[in-house]
Chains A and B, each alone.
Chain A
Amino acid sequence: DQQVKQNSPSLSVQEGRISILNCDYTNSMFDYFLWYKKYPAEGPTFLISISSIKDKNEDGRFTVFLNKSAKHLSLHIVPSQPGDSAVYFCAASAGGTSYGKLTFGQGTILTVHP
Chain B
Amino acid sequence: DGGITQSPKYLFRKEGQNVTLSCEQNLNHDAMYWYRQDPGQGLRLIYYSQIVNDFQKGDIAEGYSVSREKKESFPLTVTSAQKNPTAFYLCASSSGQGSSEAFFGQGTRLTVV
Contact = CB atoms under 8 A, between A and B. Distances in A.
A46 B41 CA distance: 18
Given A99-B94, A104-B43, A41 B109 contact: yes
A109 B58 CA distance: 26
B42 A89 contact: yes
A41 B53 CA distance: 30
B96 A44 contact: no
Interface string A62-79: 000000000000000000
Contact of B102 (A41, A95, A102): A102
Interface of A: 4, 6, 9, 32, 34, 36, 41-46, 49, 89, 91, 93, 95, 97, 99-107
Interface in B54-113: 58, 88, 90, 92-107, 109
A46 B94 CA distance: 12
